[in-house]
Structure 1
């Protein structure tokens, strides 16, 4: 029989080759004038310096955790490959973010220069750079999985086939811890950096000094542009690498538990490979006309993702039909439910965050009564926006469970839920391209402003940037939705792992069982504490930037007149130091919580904790991301000439709302989806510790 798993390395090679071709195409474009090249070089230098310092700091954590995991191996409490996989997963996750950031910092000036020719030219360069990020993430994710699978297949080759599948699946589901840990550091650290710079630049520059966004006189403007890359590109790349890997590995493990063996284990990998080729085809359809409206620009990006989704739907049917037959066609229904859920979550996220729709327009209108009403209305919008995504995910879960045969075979139903998460992420190559394109367009606008390009260029980059705010919000909604489905699959994998360690373990997961109930309360609280840590970190870091910008405005003669140049490097350095210091407590919380809860409340308490954190984490992440996106686009709506335009009192009120929304949408909200998965993966890795040493059995 045809080995489905071979599609994984084939897909990996195709994705990485396409990313390489696109990167060459981007690099072939001109960076523009000498001043544009100088500005781009400063942004690139700051981003590289930040990542270098971050990776040094994170390596200390990885060494310490590696030693702990090795000790657990010798104690017989974790799989012998976990320490190596922890390091390898972290490396690949960090590498995907680094490569994406590298192309983004090379594409920003090229996008600004291309926008001098036409809107479509700017869109093509920015989207191509985003696609490099997208296909690098899926390519490296499939490559790592392929390497581990074939190595473990060789290592366990002496075992019977069924036992081989069980051992490989059990080992690989624990391998996501390194990728999750790196993703959390990258998302939180990058998010703190970018929002500290953004808040500092906006509060002192736009609100206090009354100068335009990205004005070269603002000392924090380079740090702001650096932050777009280290947070929204490098951080996001590591984040979605982890999501992509976690969904496929948990689905593979549950396939074996459901009795599908190697064929079932290969299904999520083959589906992801189909998604890669579908995304490549879909990317050719992203183009627009000059003077396109925001709705037309959105349609241009949607066209590519919808075509990719349709191709996956066709390919998935053939995949199930020719491998398992019509008896298991319900699994196809699970895939489609995940795919449709992802599209719907993206659409409704766009509805609540784009200024082409009423919610954000109404939010912009509240600026007439000042910043307080902008903040109140933004919070309200974010809260109400959780309703539809929760319903969508709930419907997808119940459909996936029952069409996969969950009524007759519980494990088959769980496999269906996991497969729906893979379906949702199958088009990640192009979905992430539309997301990563945003920071490139944002940087392009900043460079156009600082380099003094024509008004028509700034109009084009503003249009691309506003679109990027919406696609970024859509991408975050997509990532959070997939995280919820993946987290459910990981909870099931955790229970399976405990059963493998202790087949006779007595599971009583009734909500009225005290350890489960207490664990649920603790889990429900964790996303709020995590969000508090990250929000406070942004506030602390932003204060230092605000003080530095004020100092330079006051002490550097000629700065406000434009005859002197600000000290950009000091703001970049402040943000870097603050981010490195402030990202540690949230990361420790995510790693320590499952162990502490497990040692006190046992397996039942951990299961409750995972359920509680998934429920509240999903809703809180959606609320924060959508509120932040809406605040940002409400400001952009006014800047486009509505309600008084730039510099008006309405605009100043909207800037305050946007400042509050910055850490919501770019630091705390996106990082919560990593938190809920990292809690699950750490729990899986440490399952034997909890089974053997938990106080409550």
Structure 2
């Protein structure tokens, strides 16, 4: 049965590619804009591709070095047998390559869709919405199709659970640096453009006089399209990898029922997303929020029905189905919680906007407080999902409780194709709004793109909360995969069948790892935010230089154009300089803890890293989203509107929140996944080689 389901998975992945190609050709066939739209759009496209090319060149060198290290030492030193090491190194490179390809596809279509959406906004909201959404859906279909195809092929070719972890490590490594690099780039430009443009000069957000405005639009693509796509590609692959490692161990060569279940549920999730994407359109209400939500509801409903039918027809345990649906339901609840704390129609944003009248200190205090409050429902939801899935599947037998948690993660990520489509829609329509303003396409087009952008901001907050929650369940499942890998290695070395059954925090090795692991996300976040800080200061100095030395720029004299490329270059060089150290720090810390305290210390390290990382990621994502929408709420005419004291205070809050929500916060997800995978891949080494 497993071969048939794997072939069906490949067929559905190819169907997703076909859907992506159709969506791409539809977007490309939409009417082109006027010469100004096309000219500015080409600036954005060229800047995004230049950054991606330079980033991928650096990451190619990094992945090459890591692949060589894997070839020599993982899973065992190469002189003990070369074949497994070769398989692992090739799987790692394949994971990195597939992730890079998905990011490139997303950038390619997003930088076309933004122009099409801007042009369509002159005639009405329906086609402008479709251009933005279908452009984002190309990314959704490409990312999930690629991840499903990659994992299926790796297992079919190697029949090795550890090779799947290698593939996942490749995807996670590239995602970690792509998200960090893209986040540093985009927030460098965003902060610089806002502080000089809005606060100092009082000019609009996308005023073409601002030298950082093109870099800001480029950043939306490299950070929120390529970066977030890589992040969710990584989470999707990691959830499947963790479930498959445990499923293969449970099947123990006597059956394939658990591995078949993982592939079946993942493939049906992609099929439901394909259909859901096809149903997305504007209704009579002309409400983009309603259109985005309705397609998500269609996808979720179809997934529940499809998996229930498969469970009945294929004899899958209903307990495993229940675990998957628990994950899906909790993901939805966490998205709703994130929406409450960040939506500009809800009380928290209104409260912080009102407080902003009294200065930026109150903006920061209010946003930080609501950010911390927002952590509880999401953390409690993740905990409840893990506990419920554990208890539901525990009666199935030894090992099934942790497998149930991994199935909850698979269930939560089942509709990730739709989630990525919604998420990528956000930066596309944000760019479209900028193009409308810079090209002077009129008040009607600006009002339409403002409406689309507002929906994009709301849905981005929901998808970020969803991504963090999915990462939370995934890394709990990866902790189970780590225990499975250690126990299999211990059994092979004659140390007993159940070497690890849990981690006692009163064990000094576990407690040592727990404290170190809890500190890593804070240090990681600080390094990324300081990177944005240093880079933004360089760009602000460049903006000031241009306004001082280019005659007529500040006054908007006809024909006077800023040196946009200088700002793009500053953001690019700074981001590439800052992206490697933070990721390396997390990986090196994992290796040091493992070599000092062994597998017990690594268990504590992962537990501390997961709890601390999820808390910080949720806090930064939601507080940043709240500050962003507070600014937009005031700009829409509330509490004095643009240029008021409340507006200036809200811009300061948004400036603090930018690296929170778009650089450090989302990158922590991937950092947790990377250290979890490093731990699993190094499990045999940590088991046999540690200082104590």
TM tier, shorter chain?
Answer: over 0.9
Q: Write the mapping of 1:142-221 to structure 2, written as runs, cut at 5 A.
A: 142-153=148-159, 168-221=160-213
Q: Are the equivalent residues in 2 in contact too, given 1:424–1:482 (CA < 8 A)?
A: yes
Change (3 A) 1:386 1:604: same
In structure 2, C-alpha distance between the alignment counterparts of 1:407 and 1:616, rounded to whole Å = 31
Q: Which of 107, 129, 132 is residue 126 of structure 1 equivalent to?
A: 132
1:587, distance to aligned residue in structure 2 (A):
1.3
Q: Write the mapping of 1:440-455 to structure 2, written as runs, cut at 5 A.
A: 440-455=428-443
Deviations 1:205-233 (A, max 9, x none): 11101110010000000000000000100
Q: Which of 614, 617, 620 is residue 624 of structure 1 equivalent to?
A: 620
SS at match of 2:167: coil
In structure 2, C-alpha distance between the alignment counterparts of 1:422 and 1:397, rounded to whole Å = 12
Q: Which of 325, 332, 350 is residue 339 of structure 2 equivalent to?
A: 350
Measured on the aligned residues, the alpha-carbon RMSD in Å equals 1.5
1:76, distance to aligned residue in structure 2 (A):
4.1
Corresponding position of 1:256: 248
SS at match of 1:396: helix
Corresponding position of 2:290: 299
1:291, distance to aligned residue in structure 2 (A):
7.3
Corresponding position of 1:138: 144
SS at match of 1:219: coil
Q: Are the equivalent residues in 2 in contact too, given 1:120–1:290 (CA < 8 A)?
A: no
Q: Write the mapping of 1:250-329 to structure 2, written as runs, cut at 5 A.
A: 250-259=242-251, 261-289=255-283, 292=286, 296-325=287-316, 328-329=317-318
Q: Are the equivalent residues in 2 in contact too, given 1:79–1:171 (CA < 8 A)?
A: no
In structure 1, C-alpha distance between the alignment counterparts of 2:396 and 2:259, rounded to whole Å = 21
SS at match of 1:561: coil
In structure 2, C-alpha distance between the alignment counterparts of 1:408 and 1:318, rounded to whole Å = 21
Corresponding position of 1:162: none
In structure 1, C-alpha distance between the alignment counterparts of 2:642 and 2:357, rounded to whole Å = 14
Corresponding position of 1:157: none
Change (3 A) 1:419 1:79: farther
Corresponding position of 1:160: none
Q: Write the mapping of 1:545-564 to structure 2, written as runs, cut at 5 A.
A: 545-563=539-557, 564=560
In structure 1, C-alpha distance between the alignment counterparts of 2:120 and 2:56, rounded to whole Å = 33
Q: Which of 518, 528, 535 is residue 529 of structure 2 equivalent to?
A: 535
Corresponding position of 1:646: 642
Does residue 513 of structure 2 align to residue 522 of structure 1? Answer: no
1:298, distance to aligned residue in structure 2 (A):
2.1
1:594, distance to aligned residue in structure 2 (A):
1.5
Q: Are the equivalent residues in 2 in contact too, given 1:119–1:289 (CA < 8 A)?
A: no
Q: Which of 412, 423, 426 is residue 424 of structure 1 equivalent to?
A: 412
Corresponding position of 1:18: 19
Does residue 415 of structure 2 align to residue 414 of structure 1? Answer: no
Q: Please, which moves more after superposition, 390-399 or 539-548? A: 390-399
Q: Write the mapping of 1:455-494 to structure 2, written as runs, cut at 5 A.
A: 455-494=443-482
1:465, distance to aligned residue in structure 2 (A):
1.2
TM-score, normalised with respect to structure 2? 0.96
Q: Are the equivalent residues in 2 in contact too, given 1:252–1:266 (CA < 8 A)?
A: no
Change (3 A) 1:408 1:91: closer
1:270, distance to aligned residue in structure 2 (A):
1.5
1:330, distance to aligned residue in structure 2 (A):
0.8
In structure 1, C-alpha distance between the alignment counterparts of 2:432 and 2:154, rounded to whole Å = 39
1:372, distance to aligned residue in structure 2 (A):
0.8
In structure 2, C-alpha distance between the alignment counterparts of 1:31 and 1:418, rounded to whole Å = 46
Q: Which runs of 5+ in 1 are unaligned?
A: 154-167
Corresponding position of 1:164: none
In structure 1, C-alpha distance between the alignment counterparts of 2:632 and 2:331, rounded to whole Å = 26
Q: Are the equivalent residues in 1 in contact too, given 2:597–2:691 (CA < 8 A)?
A: yes
Counting matched residue pairs gives 676
Q: Are the equivalent residues in 2 in contact too, given 1:4–1:263 (CA < 8 A)?
A: no
In structure 1, C-alpha distance between the alignment counterparts of 2:97 and 2:32, rounded to whole Å = 31
Deviations 1:403-423 (A, max 9, x none): 11x156341111111011111
Corresponding position of 1:6: 7
1:289, distance to aligned residue in structure 2 (A):
5.0
Corresponding position of 2:364: 375
Deviations 1:90-146 (A, max 9, x none): 011111011101100111111111111112221111000110010100111111112
Corresponding position of 1:165: none
Q: Which 4+ residue blocks in structure 1 deviate beyond 3 angstroms? A: 75-80, 289-292, 505-508
In structure 1, C-alpha distance between the alignment counterparts of 2:659 and 2:257, rounded to whole Å = 43
1:254, distance to aligned residue in structure 2 (A):
1.1
Corresponding position of 1:232: 224
Q: Are the equivalent residues in 2 in contact too, given 1:370–1:650 (CA < 8 A)?
A: yes
Q: Are the equivalent residues in 1 in contact too, given 2:198–2:205 (CA < 8 A)?
A: yes
In structure 2, C-alpha distance between the alignment counterparts of 1:392 and 1:519, rounded to whole Å = 25
Q: Write the mapping of 1:327-406 to structure 2, written as runs, cut at 5 A.
A: 328-404=317-393, 406=394
In structure 2, C-alpha distance between the alignment counterparts of 1:291 and 1:299, rounded to whole Å = 8
In structure 2, C-alpha distance between the alignment counterparts of 1:480 and 1:48, rounded to whole Å = 27
Q: Are the equivalent residues in 1 in contact too, given 2:617–2:665 (CA < 8 A)?
A: yes
1:440, distance to aligned residue in structure 2 (A):
0.2
In structure 1, C-alpha distance between the alignment counterparts of 2:282 and 2:651, rounded to whole Å = 30
In structure 2, C-alpha distance between the alignment counterparts of 1:14 and 1:266, rounded to whole Å = 20
Q: Are the equivalent residues in 2 in contact too, given 1:217–1:562 (CA < 8 A)?
A: yes
Corresponding position of 2:485: 497
Deviations 1:279-298 (A, max 9, x none): 12222332335774xxx432
In structure 1, C-alpha distance between the alignment counterparts of 2:45 and 2:108, rounded to whole Å = 8
In structure 1, C-alpha distance between the alignment counterparts of 2:622 and 2:290, rounded to whole Å = 20
1:441, distance to aligned residue in structure 2 (A):
0.6
Deviations 1:142-177 (A, max 9, x none): 111122122124xxxxxxxxxxxxxx2233233211
Deviations 1:634-660 (A, max 9, x none): 111111111111111111111110111
TM-score, normalised with respect to structure 1? 0.95
Q: Which of 230, 233, 241 is residue 233 of structure 2 equivalent to?
A: 241
Deviations 1:416-459 (A, max 9, x none): 11011111111111111111100001100111111011112111
Corresponding position of 2:78: 74
1:79, distance to aligned residue in structure 2 (A):
4.2
In structure 1, C-alpha distance between the alignment counterparts of 2:535 and 2:209, rounded to whole Å = 21
